[in-house]
Structure formats: structure tokens, C-alpha cells
Amino acid sequence: MHGFANPKRFLALARWLTPLALGLGLVLTGGALAYGFVAAPAERLQGETVRILFIHVPAAWLGMAGWMTIAAASLTELVWRHPLAAIAGRGAAVPGAFFTALCLVSGSLWGRPAWGAWWVWDGRLTSMLVLLFLYLGYIALAGASAREGASSRIPAIFGIVGVVNIPIIHYSVLWWYSVHQVPSISLGRSAMAPAFLWPLLVATIGFTLVFAAVVLMQMRALLADAQAEARMRRKALDSDMRHARTIH
Amino acid sequence: MRAGLDPWPFVIAAYAVGVLGTLALVGWSWLAMRRAEARREKARRK
């Protein structure tokens, strides 16, 4: 892993990994969503609204995975001072915030016909909304520290502290009474019919690949901006020094 | 499922937000990356 902290090696890998992850992700996601919208059977209790599952569950997973990426990058930055760690954290923030917002919106669109309410202040929904606010805070903090040339340690500490919310989201439906259902899938166990389970897995893998491609694109943009700025500064400094020598 | 509420407008809205939002995120990230990499090349050539 330490080898990929080198920006040159990272770029060499990211240049072919970005289109591969994006292409494969879009194909898998498109296929799974087409199946979910057109061919998936109506569920006994949820009826046709069960089709929202193929958007809502991958979005929830990626909202949480995005923050875990920020936390891992923040820890790497604080402990090993990897030059790319802060960029990786910032790269995961916007797609993570997007998928958290998508989870909330798709959940609301599912809740209205299923529960009779767009929103309820239960543990799962509230902790997911807190996650969205954490993302917005992180984006603002990391952006401000990069703009002002300040240390990226404060956003990194924020990224690590915010991870406390992830187990709260996961266990909220077990800890507190909720209208939100308990998990249907866990490691080695599923209460879901195969007609929903397999396309859901394909949609989750597809969305995850799209997420990875977006993170790589964001990282490449941030890295290119930083390199262009460093080059311009170096040139301005060289020009100033030449000018000073001419005067003396 | 609550009786009397047509589920399809909710399903269509969720898919529209999911698909269009994801494509917009991908397109915006792609453009931002291309622009930043072009800026870096320009700074290298100067």
C-alpha cells in the first residue's frame, strides 16, 4: 500500500482503473436497475414499492462506506503521513454525501406509500441525516483548510471522530423501536428471496464500482490542481529570484 | 403497503433521482478531472 502513496504510481494505476471501474459499474448497475424496474416480482407485503430496494440499499451502504473511507484515509494521514491520504479523504467526501442524500430521498419516497409518512424521527433515519451533516461539515472543513494552506490534521481528526456514527446507524434498528425494518441480510444469512437478493447484490457491486471510479476521478482532479499550483508557485519564485539577481 | 396509494409514481421518482443523480455525479467528476489535468499540463508547458 505504501508504494501507491507515491503520486506517480497512483496516477499510473488510476489512469486505467478509472475507466474500467466506471464502465463495469455502469453496466452492472444499469442491468440490475433495469431488472428491478421491469422484471422483479411485486413483494407480498411491500407490493411494487419493493423495487426502490435496488437504489435505496446500495445508496445506504455507500453512504456508510464513504465515511469509512474518509476515516481510514484520515488515520493513514495522521499515523503514516501519506501524501495522498488527505486527497483520498477529500475524494470520498462528495460521492459519500451524494449517496447518503440518495439514501434519504429514496427512503422517503419508499416511506410515504409503505408507512404513510415521508419522514419519521426514528434512530435509523435520524442517524443517517446526521451522517449527511457530517459529510457537509467535512467538505467545508477540508475545503477551507486546503484553500487557506492550513494543516489537514483538523479535517483528519473530524473524519476519525465522525466514524462513531457508523455503528449507531447500523445498530439503530436493533437498539430502538423503529418503523424501519431490521436488516434482511447479514454475513452468511439472508431472509430475502433469491429474486430480490441476487439483483440487489449486482446493483450493490455496480454502484460500488461507480463510487470507486468517482473517488478516483475526484482524487485525480485534486492531485492535478495541487501539482499545477505547486508548479506555478515554483515558477513565480524562480522568476522573483532571477529578477533580484538582475537588480544586484 | 397502504391501500389507495398508487406506488408507481414513488418508484419512478426514486429511479429518476437515483439514475439521473448518479449520471450527473459521474459527468461532473469527469469534467472536473479533465479540466484539472488540462490546467496541470498548461502549467507544465509554461
The CATH number corresponding to A27-177+192-218 among 1.20.120, 2.60.120, 3.40.50, 1.10.150 equals: 1.20.120
Yes or no, beta carbons of B7 and A47 under 8 Å apart: yes
Residues above pLDDT 70, as percent of chain B: 93
Residue A2, classed as helix, strand or coil, is: helix
Residue A240 · residue A24 · CB < 8 Å: no
Residue A43, classed as helix, strand or coil, is: strand
**Interface confidence (ipTM) of the complex:** 0.92
Nearest CA in chain A to B3: A113
Please say if the pLDDT value at position A136 is more than 80: yes
Cβ neighbours of residue A242 closer than 8 Å, sequence gap 6 or more:
none
Q: What would the pLDDT profile of A235-246 be if each residue is shown by its tens digit?
A: 888 877 877 877
pLDDT for residue A245: 78
Q: Which residues in B lie closer than 8 A to residue A29 (C-beta atoms)?
A: 22
Please say if the pLDDT value at position A4 is more than 60: no
Yes or no, beta carbons of B7 and A49 under 8 Å apart: yes
Per-residue pLDDT band at A248 (split at 50, 70, 90): low
pLDDT for residue A237: 82
> Biggest alpha carbon distance in chain A?
87
pLDDT for residue A175: 87
Least confident among A182-186, B5-9, B16-20: A182-186
Please say if the pLDDT value at position B3 is more than 80: no
Candidates A11, A33, A43, A52: best to mutate against B (most CBs of B within 10 A) is A52
pTM of this prediction?
0.91
Residue A159 CB coordination number (10 Å): 30
Judged by phi (left if over 0) then psi (alpha if -120 to 50, else beta), residue A35 lies in alpha
Q: Render A155-213 in DSSP notation, one character per residue.
A: HHHHHHHGGGHHHHHHHHHHHS--SSPPPSEETTEE-S-HHHHHHHHHHHHHHHHHHHH
- Closest Cβ opposite residue B25 in set A55, A95, A222: A95
Provide the residue ranges of all domains of chain A, joining segments of one domain with +.
27-177+192-218
Nearest CA in chain B to A104: B14
Yes or no, beta carbons of A52 and B30 under 8 Å apart: no
Per-residue pLDDT band at A2 (split at 50, 70, 90): low
Residue A47, classed as helix, strand or coil, is: strand
Gap from A105 CA to chain B (nearest CA, Å)? 8
Question: Across chain A, how many H-helices and E-strands are there?
Answer: 7, 2
